[in-house]
Amino acid sequence: MAANAPTAPVPEGARITVCEVGPRDGFQIEATFIPTDRKIAIVNALFASGLRHIQVTSFVSPRAVPQLADAEAVLAGIDRPEGAVVSALIPNLRGAERAAGAGVDAVHSVVSASETHNLKNVNRPIETSLKDFEAVFALLDRAGVAIEGGIATAFGCPFEGIVPPEQVARIARRYQEMGARSVGLGDTTGMATPSTVRAAVQAIRAEAPGLGIGLHFHNTRGVGLACVMTGLAEGVTHYDASVGGLGGCPFAAGATGNICTEDLVYLLNESGYETGVNLDALIDAARMTQEVIGRDLPGQVIKSGPRLRRYDPGLTATAAG
C-alpha cells in the first residue's frame, strides 16, 4: 500500500489501487477444496484484467484453513506480469518464513482490534500477537518483503460490539513502530458505516502520521461501497475487494462476502478515477470464478454488465397495446 499522506478528498482522475483478495479471503471459506490448477487459472485471469495487486493465498496451518494448504504450489504456478505485487496473509513467524521462501512481494499480518475476536481468530491476546510480530517483522525486513499491518474487526466486533477508533489507532501506531509501511483496516463482519470509517481513518492519522491506510470492506449489510466513498472523501487510495463478492472470515459469526471487485472497479471508473483495470476482462474472470465455485456469486456487475452495454431491440419484447 502506498502511504496516504493527504487528508483532502482523492481528486477525480487520481489512480486508485484495487487489491484483489478473493483467492485468499474468498477461497478460504469455501466448503469444497478448489483444485490448485483452477486457483492458478483464476489468479492469471485476474492479472490479465489489469489488476496488479493480488493477495494470492495465506500461509496458515492447513489444519486451520485446509482450503489454502497449497499456498506454495499456487505461488509457484502463477504468471506474474511486470509491476505485479503478489501478497499473502501470514499469522505468525512460521507463516512469515514460508511466505518469504515462496517469493511473495508483500505480506499482510493480522491482529484483531477486539480481544475476543483475536482469541477466536489466532488463539492469543492482542498484546501477545503484537509482541510476536516483532520477530516476524524483523525476519521480513531482512528478506526484503514489504509489510502491511492488518487490523481485523476495525469497525466493530460480532462478539464485543463497538470497537473504539482509539484502539484501532493504537494498534496502527504499534505496527508503524515495528516497521510497517501501511495498515489495512478490516471490516470482518460488515459492521462498518461511513461514520465509523471516518472516525477510524482520522484517529490513525492523528496517532500515526505518515502511515499508509488501506480499507477492506465486506458487504454484509449492503453499505460496503458507501464506505468506499467515505474513504475516498478521507483521501484513502487503497481498497481491497474480492472477485464476484466472495469471502468471509471462518472464525467470525455472521461473516459474509467482501465488496465485489467488479462492482468496485465499476464505481471507481464511473466516478472518474483510474484503476488500470479492464472491466469486461474482469467480468470474464468473475464468470470463470463463478463456474469454478459452482454457484451464483453476489456481485451485481457480473449480472448486468457495464452501464453502457447495448442490447438488440429486435431481441427484446415490445409492449402490447
Q: What is the mean pLDDT of residues 187-215?
A: 96
Other Cβ atoms closer than 10 A to 14: 15
Contact criterion met (CB below 8 Å) for 318 and 78: no
Cβ distance 54 to 47 under 8 Å? yes
Residue 191's pLDDT is what? 94
- pTM assigned to the model: 0.93
For 154-207, give the DSSP string.
Answer: TT-BTTTB---HHHHHHHHHHHHHHT-SEEEEE-TTS---HHHHHHHHHHHHHH
- With beta carbons less than 8 A apart as the criterion, state whether 74 and 56 touch: yes
For residue 304, is pLDDT > 80?
Answer: yes
Task: For 208-244, write each residue's pLDDT tens digit.
Answer: 999 999 999 999 899 999 999 999 999 999 999 999 9
Catalytic residue among 19, 157, 227, 249: 249
Strands 146-152 and 106-112: parallel
Domain spans in the chain, listed from the N-terminal domain onward: 17-315
- Mean pLDDT in residue range 58-86: 95
Specify whether the CB–CB gap between 73 and 33 falls below 8 A.
Answer: no
Was domain 17-315 assigned CATH 3.20.20.70?
yes
pLDDT at 307 over 90: no
- The DSSP line for 55-76 is EEEE---TTT-GGGTTHHHHHH
How far, in Å, are 21, 23, 73, 221, 295 from residue 291 at the CA level? 18, 14, 22, 26, 7
Nearest to 22 by CA among 12, 13, 7, 34: 34
Q: Name which residue leads in pLDDT, 250 or 211.
A: 211
**101 phi/psi in degrees, rounded to 5:** -70, -25
Please report which confidence band the pLDDT of residue 248 belongs to, taking 50, 70 and 90 as the band edges: low
Q: How confident is the model at residue 107 (pLDDT cuts 50, 70, 90)?
A: very high
* pLDDT value for 34: 97
Q: Is the pLDDT of residue 249 over 90?
A: no
- Please compute the mean of the pLDDT values over residues 144-173 and round it to a whole number: 96
Sequence-ordered strand ranges (E) for the chain = 17-20, 53-58, 85-89, 106-112, 146-152, 182-186, 212-216, 238-241
Grid coordinates standing for 85?
505485487
Residue-level pLDDT at 251: 55
Mean pLDDT, to the nearest integer, of 88-94?
93
Question: Does the annotation mark 249 as catalytic?
Answer: yes
Tell me the percentage of the chain whose pLDDT exceeds 90.
83
As a whole number, the mean pLDDT across the chain is 93
